[in-house]
Amino acid sequence: MKNCAERLVEIFGSQAEVARSFSLDRAVVNNWVKSGYVPARWAMEVERVTGGRIAAVEVLNEAGAKRPVRVKSRPDGKNLFRTTLGSETMNSYAPAKRIQSFHPPQRTLMGPGPTEIHPRVLTTMSQPAIGYLDPVFVEMMEELKSLLRYAYQTNNSLTFPVSGPGSVGMEYCFVNMVKPGDKVIVCRNGVFGGRMIENVERAGGTAVVVDSEWGTPVDPQKFDDALKKNRDARLAAFVHAETSTGVQSDAKTLVEIAHKYDTLVIVDAVTSLGGSPVKVDEWNIDAIYSASQKCLSCTPGLSPVSFSDRVVDYVKARKDKIHSWFMDMNLLLGYWGATTRTYHHTAPTNSLFALHEALVLIREEGLENAWARHERNHIALKAGLEAMGLKFLVKEEYQLPQMNAVHIPEAMQSREAEVRRTLLTEFGLEIGAGLGPLAGKIWRIGIMGYSCRPDNVMLCLSALGSVLADMGLPVHVGDAEAAAHSAYAQLHAKAAAQKQKHKDRATA
């Protein structure tokens, strides 16, 4: 089998043409051929120049096998600069066991997050680091903001990723928008509505809580009643897609109700962005935050946020100091705003490279196609789980496609952790447990981003059915997979019929 260097020569016809295509000296290409691999730093460029005929991951794997990273240049005891003076003192702090490089196992991630990461995103994240004020990096930042505006469907100028997980994005919204003494209407129908309440209180505000039963959407009438009763509330907040239950609330309606009372709205879109429709401008959302590790399928640690001009003006008009230096919108405007970049903090450059690539993938697929993919795989997964006898927590019309919460059969509730452990150890498959009052009562099965694929759906159904059958549950192995296949077939037939209908109209 030819290596990547030989394949390049085959594709372009000669070493000279390879050198010309990559703007390199021919001696460099000759060295690639001699050594039998292309250096890892050329992985993305090889994929681009060859139009994908040689994937970046192939270059990386081959380079890693041919030239593994060596941490030491000498064996133990042969360090040229080693001194005995003080070594005993320092060794007393060394770990008790010898620690090797960490290599995580390959898992199929079908829990509440993180998700599997596309090879292109992983490759991009491994590119050389550059300075956070480098002109090339600043240019990438502008592209990243425009890609996020596409994902959020907004023209908001202040749309960017906060350095930190989705919880930081949540806190960023509340710490900037809630002043001490403010009254805030908070909708709670799961774990993350509860965290919003905590944020309001820590910012010095008073939370007026609108409770809905876990597994049901936010009740618009209860929300309206709370706003009517508390006319002095300037802010309201709710979770669009509640990760703890797999329920989706009607964001458009809730925002309309809030605006009727001239109330600004904070929306949690951590699990919905990229997987379900999120239309910031059309729905007139004031402030919204999400996370990089769910339907965007990026590495954890970034929280995309977007703010309307009305919110920016509201924050700028505050007379008191924002109670967090790191999350002060006024300071971050100098780094992520449209003005000349000023230093605020050391941005996680390589994670931002990864988010840029993850958003490029969504742009290439098309946002509506990404939403449709999540819906399509949800329908098949649901058909399989129901064929297995499992019942969904959420009513069908409110189910979140990318987060599927199912009741654990009563006979299995005492062994639910054992089921998840067996799936992980025997099948390399991770699903999520229930939280809060639903702990031990539901499983949460995620099909988000790159994890949202038919092969993962079929693996999950096959593995879960096998484990439950082995533990004595009356599950007919194969029924779930057959139901999923049937669902996929019906969806394909429907799509083909619609395509033909459009074709006939065009030619009529």
- Asked if 501 and 412 sit in the same domain, the reply is yes
- Asked if 357 and 274 sit in the same domain, the reply is yes
3-state secondary structure of 443: strand
Asked, for residue 260, whether it belongs to a domain, the answer is yes
Domain boundary among 364, 385, 417: 364
State how far the Cα of 231 lies from the Cα of 261, in Å rounded to an integer: 7
- Asked if 377 and 352 sit in the same domain, the reply is no
Q: Are 269 and 288 in contact (CB under 8 A)?
A: yes
Predicted local distance difference test score (pLDDT) of residue 218: 98
- Asked if 271 and 136 sit in the same domain, the reply is yes
Using 50 as the pLDDT threshold, list the residues of the chain that sit under it. none
Predicted local distance difference test score (pLDDT) of residue 307: 97
What residues contact 306, with CB distance under 8 A and at least 6 apart? Answer: 148, 149, 152, 154, 156, 158, 159, 280, 285, 287, 288
Q: What 8-state DSSP symbol labels residue 69?
A: -
- Asked if 212 and 324 sit in the same domain, the reply is yes
Asked, for residue 350, whether it belongs to a domain, the answer is yes
Predicted local distance difference test score (pLDDT) of residue 40: 85
pTM attached to this predicted model? 0.82
Domain ranges, residue 398:
367-507
- Asked if 301 and 389 sit in the same domain, the reply is no
Asked, for residue 147, whether it belongs to a domain, the answer is yes
- Asked if 253 and 210 sit in the same domain, the reply is yes
- The enclosing domain of 58 has a CATH number of 1.10.260.40
- Asked if 300 and 420 sit in the same domain, the reply is no
Predicted local distance difference test score (pLDDT) of residue 85: 52
Q: Strands 108-109 and 183-188: what pairing?
A: unpaired
- Asked if 305 and 413 sit in the same domain, the reply is no
Predicted local distance difference test score (pLDDT) of residue 211: 97
Asked, for residue 51, whether it belongs to a domain, the answer is yes
- The enclosing domain of 485 has a CATH number of 3.90.1150.10
Predicted local distance difference test score (pLDDT) of residue 32: 85
Predicted local distance difference test score (pLDDT) of residue 39: 87
State how far the Cα of 388 lies from the Cα of 384, in Å rounded to an integer: 6
Tell me how many domains the chain contains. Answer: 3
- Asked if 353 and 415 sit in the same domain, the reply is no
Q: What 8-state DSSP symbol labels residue 392?
A: B
Domain boundary among 348, 364, 380: 364
Q: Are 351 and 301 in contact (CB under 8 A)?
A: yes
Q: What 8-state DSSP symbol labels residue 175?
A: H
- Asked if 173 and 308 sit in the same domain, the reply is yes
